[in-house]
Structure 1
Amino acid sequence: MRERTTPGPGTWHRPLLLVAAVTAPFVAISLAGLALDGRVLVGAPIWGKPFKFAVSIVLYAVTWSWLVTYLPHRRLVRWPATVIAAALAVEYAIIVAQVIRGRQSHFNVATPLDGILWGVMGTSITVLWLANIVVALFLIRREIGGRTLTWAVRSGAAISLLGIGMAFLMTRPTEAQRAAMREGGFGGIIGRHSVGVLDGGPIMQVTGWSTTGGDLRVAHFVGIHALQALPLLALLLAAMARRTTLLRGERVRTRLVLVAAAGYAAFTGLTLWQALRGQPLTRPDGLTLAVAGILAALVLAAVAAVLATARRDREEAR
């Protein structure tokens, strides 16, 4: 039986809040670095990665700290959440340390120290993913502020886990890297962000995603932040319900969230499929556009069906 709970005062998870508080200043520090430090690493401004990770970690840590308020105050719950906080802190500390050293953080095993740092980072990512699974399993058994928000959180947590798991696709050596290792021409990098092109080519502003080949970070990013996007949608629908009669029923809002979750999951899969085919996000081919169009049409049709059913139910209830 699923339990219905409400958060207690002062119960936000403190280690996660601490990680968010310590990381938040690095948003400004990274922006200053982008303005004052002209170094470029793997084709991108060297402080771009600390900036992006700082924003992402703050959002992620604050979201999980809030969600933990709905879970029982038991060690079996609190400790995995603390592990998430520690893994985030370790990963970000290594990213910043490598920027200061002027070295690539991800996939870099060129020197013993680089290899150790990448090994620690890779381990922290794996531990983070496993800890997320544990906390998410507790979360799906809870009622969180009504059915609409509950299903937004459940689906967001599930998609987010898939998004984190996509990071493992990046750590595999490419065929060219395997060949170089066999022939003794190893360049010190194992793994990649891009598909079909080398990392370090032309990139999008801010995101740093490739504009000439596929980029696995797109689906990784989209998937991870389902944990924020879907609960925000649920809260937005609740706010709109105050002025829109059709949205006042919790059933219709829940159905809309479930439609959005299905569409979000499909879009995440679409961006991964596009990247694996070596296509940049900004240059989809006809097949990708056709699939995206079908996906959009299905989501819009489902939304229309939900609203039509809600309208009919209200008319019958009069």
Structure 2
Amino acid sequence: MAVMTAVSAVGLMVDDRVLAGAAIWFKPFKFAVSFVVYALALAWMLTLVTRGRRVGWWAGTVVALSSLVEMAIITGQVIRGKRSHFNHATPFDETLFNLMGITVTVLWAGTLVIAVLLLRARIADRAAAWAIRSGVLLALVGAGFGFLMTQPTPGQRAAGNLDTAAVIGAHSVGVPDGGPSMPLTGWSTTGGDLRIPHFVGMHALQLLPLFLLVLLALAPRFPRLRDPRVRLRLVLVASGAYAAVVALVAWQALRGQPLIHPDGATLGAAALIVAASGACGYAALRPTPVPQKPVPEADVLAGSDSPAKEFAA
């Protein structure tokens, strides 16, 4: 995938073809970069598996091979000048797209196996355990939004020619694919885009563990962060806030609303998430009380010269 990132970058510079409103090498470039960070995160997480390491090795291999097959199809279609996703124009194109659907399902299942192994792993630091487990579970949710994109859009259903249609499915909601889009990401600026919750959810795999690493880096300067219980509470707050953001951008996309043009309902929900996260974060930073050892009643009732009473004082 690192090699394909470089190859796709060269393609962007030397190949001026445009497909579905974007530079033809933009899709393999985005997929290659995404797979690089996804694979690195999963590889690191597999080193933390304590039970079922052999199963984890096979699950990681399945993820790697399915990613390779998907990238090979995307790149092959770019070379042919054809769409890779949602392409039903010819039996060959449809077969390739169906094969991609199988590889994505296999990749999702392999990640699910790794998630189960991480849930069973004995990770000493509880904050690290929750950052990793929350990250991989949210990544599974994010990956699941990819299946929604393969369904016929209302416009495609209304056309009534699904058996002969050249394109079935879409990234965008409420507008056709290939319209005005954001730079770098390519997300629609005129309608909803299911790639947004897909992207945000999948990269929880890296961002939540990264959040914990930031807390650890700040711990020498902020004494409260040295308390593992405080770090655990902050990770739980961050995980909840991240899940809420995934739900918010999914709700926004499914209503056909562009990310950069939120309505009042979206802004209100976002403000609620920020306020709740801030309040919970502030509460999580409170110092953990040190439990006091109870003094036996007999010592409490004893005189001032009682050793136990003097120790308690």
TM-score scaled by length of structure 1: 0.88
Structure 2: which amino acid aligns with 1:150? A
1:98 to 61, 64, 77: 77
Contact 2:162–2:168 (Cα < 8 Å) also in 1: no
1:181, CA displacement in angstroms? 4.0
Q: How high is the TM-score relative to the length of structure 2?
A: 0.89
Query: What residue in structure 2 maps to residue 125 of structure 1?
Result: 104
Partner of 1:263: 241
Q: Which amino acid aligns with 2:64?
A: A
Structure 2: how far apart are the matches of 1:313 and 1:34? 57
Whole-angstrom distance in 1 between the partners of 2:165 and 2:22 = 19
Question: Secondary structure of the equivalent of 2:122?
Answer: strand
- Structure 2 match to 1:180: 159
**Corresponding position: 1:65 with 2:43:** yes
Q: After superposition, what is the alpha-carbon deviation per residue over 1:77-125, rounded to whole angstroms, capped at 9, x for unaligned?
A: 2212211111111111111111111111011111111111101100000
- Residues 137 and 73 of structure 1: CA distance in aligned 2, closer, same or farther (over 3 Å): closer
Runs of 4 or more consecutive aligned structure 1 residues displaced over 6 Å after TM superposition: none
Q: 1:313 aligns with which of 282, 289, 312?
A: 289
Q: 2:198 aligns with which of 217, 220, 231?
A: 220
Give the total of aligned pairs. Answer: 290
1:148-203: CA deviation from partner (whole Å, max 9, x where unpaired): 1111001001111101111111011112222334487x431111100000001001
**Residue 19 of structure 1: aligned partner:** none
1:84 to 40, 63, 66: 63
Task: Tell whether the 8 Å contact from 2:56 to 2:117 is kept in structure 1 after alignment.
Answer: yes
How far apart, in 2, do the equivalents of 1:145 and 1:89 lie?
34
Q: Is the 8 A contact 2:52 2:117 kept in 1?
A: no
Name the aligned partner's letter for residue 296 of structure 1.
Answer: V
Instruction: Name whichever of 298-307 and 30-39 sits farther off.
Output: 30-39
- After TM superposition, give the deviation of residue 235 of structure 1 in Å: 1.1
What secondary structure sits across from 1:144 in the alignment? coil
User: Matched residues, percent identical?
Assistant: 53
For the residue of structure 1 that corresponds to 2:85, the secondary structure is coil
Which residues of structure 1 form unaligned runs of 5+? 1-22
Partner of 1:284: 262
Unaligned runs of 5+ in 2: 293-313
CA distance in 2, matches of 1:150, 1:105: 37
How far apart are the structure 2 equivalents of 1:199 and 1:116? 21
Residues 151-162 of structure 1 correspond to what in structure 2 (within 5 A)? 151-162=130-141
Which structure has the larger Rg over C-alpha atoms?
Answer: 2
CA distance in 1, matches of 2:41, 2:124: 15
Q: CA RMSD in A?
A: 1.6
1:249 and 2:227 aligned? yes
Determine the C-alpha separation between the residues in 2 that align with 1:45 and 1:298.
41
